[in-house]
């Protein structure tokens, strides 16, 4: 049966990257459609009228938005390389850490990235609190998914993929190996996984872009 899988995306979006990772791990062939978010295409507005954001997965003409919702859809539709574990409790825990990533970890790291001086120090406290939970969760495990990467790893993977970029820009270590040895080890292991490694956005291009975002943000503040 001819299957059509399209992904509306941008080269630098960490949310879109989650979906790319999932599709590649499952060996699903897909077409990437690069969106210009300053000039959103009629296609994007048609497929995601509610949020008008990427990523959007379009499977045989049916669109799905919101990266974690898409990940779950991908896992339920293509059963090879399961991202979620079998048991309901372990599945719920994987979802919990994915939600934690977006609810708590992401805002706290963004906070450190855009703040300065005393405000930044306070933002670090928030990060440490969040990282402590992740450190605890990784005890006895190589990945959040166990022996191989799973749903929670893909959801949290932006930390491994992007934090080094942020650290380079602000010149400050955000995830210290001494304080968080397991999280640091996980970050290194994650980006070594071949499918993850080959999908990483170009480093220098990403640094330039994100530095620009930060400068714009600080300039507007």
Partner 1 sequence: MAEESVKLLGYWASPFALRVKWALKLKGVHYEYVEENLPNKSPLLLRYNPVYKKIPVLVHNGKPLAESLLIIEYIDEAWKQNPLLPDDPYERANARFWAKFFDEKCVPEVMGAFASKGEEQEKAAKARENLKMLERALEGKPFFGGDKIGFLDIAVGWIGIWGRIVEEIAGVSLIDAETMPLLTAWLNNFLEVPVIKACIPSWHELLEHNKGFHKILTGSST
Residues that bind partner 1 (CB under 8 A): 50, 59, 62, 64-66, 69-70, 72-73, 76-77, 88-89, 91-93, 95-96, 99-100, 104, 133
Residues 158, 200 contacting (CB under 8 angstroms) = no
Q: Which one, 13 or 130, has the nearer CB to partner 1?
A: 130
Task: Please tell me the distance from the alpha carbon of residue 1 to that of residue 166, in angstroms, as a whole number.
Answer: 44
Name the minimum Å distance from CB 197 to partner 1. 29
Measured CA distances, 3 to 7, 10, 128 (Å): 13, 23, 45
By C-beta, is 59 or 162 nearer to partner 1? 59
- Tell the smallest beta-carbon distance from residue 59 to partner 1 (Å): 8
Q: Please choose, from the candidates 46, 29, 165, the residue with its C-alpha nearest in 3D space to the C-alpha of residue 109.
A: 165
Smallest gap, in angstroms, from Cβ of residue 99 to partner 1? 6
**Given the complex with partner 1, which of 23 and 64 has the nearer CB atom?**
64
Q: Closest separation between CB of residue 95 and partner 1, Å?
A: 5
The rounded distance, in Å, linking the Cα atoms of 191 and 137 is 19
Q: Which of 33, 71, 220 is nearest to 156 (CA)?
A: 71
Of the pair 20, 94, the CB lying nearest partner 1 is at 94
């Amino acid at each position: 049966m001819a299957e059509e899988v399209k992904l509306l995306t941008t080269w630098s979006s960490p949310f879109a990257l989650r979906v790319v990772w999932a599709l590649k791990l499952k060996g699903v062939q897909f077409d990437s459609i690069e969106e210009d978010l300053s000039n959103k295409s009629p296609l994007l507005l048609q497929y995601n009228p509610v949020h008008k954001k990427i990523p959007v997965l379009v499977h045989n003409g049916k669109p799905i938005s919101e990266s974690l919702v898409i990940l779950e859809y991908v896992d339920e539709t293509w059963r090879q390389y399961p991202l979620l574990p079998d048991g309901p409790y372990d599945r719920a825990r994987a979802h919990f850490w994915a939600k934690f990533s977006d609810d708590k970890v992401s805002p706290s790291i963004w906070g450190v990235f855009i703040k300065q001086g005393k405000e930044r120090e306070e933002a670090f406290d928030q990060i440490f609190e969040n990282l402590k939970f992740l450190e605890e969760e990784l005890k006895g495990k190589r990945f959040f998914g166990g022996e191989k990467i799973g749903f929670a790893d893909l959801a949290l993977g932006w930390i491994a993929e992007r934090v080094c970029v942020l650290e380079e820009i602000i010149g400050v270590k955000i995830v210290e190996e001494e304080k968080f040895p397991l999280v640091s080890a996980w970050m290194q292991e994650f980006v070594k996984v071949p499918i993850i490694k080959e999908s990483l956005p170009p480093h220098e291009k990403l640094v330039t872009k994100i530095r620009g975002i930060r400068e714009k943000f600080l300039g507007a503040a």
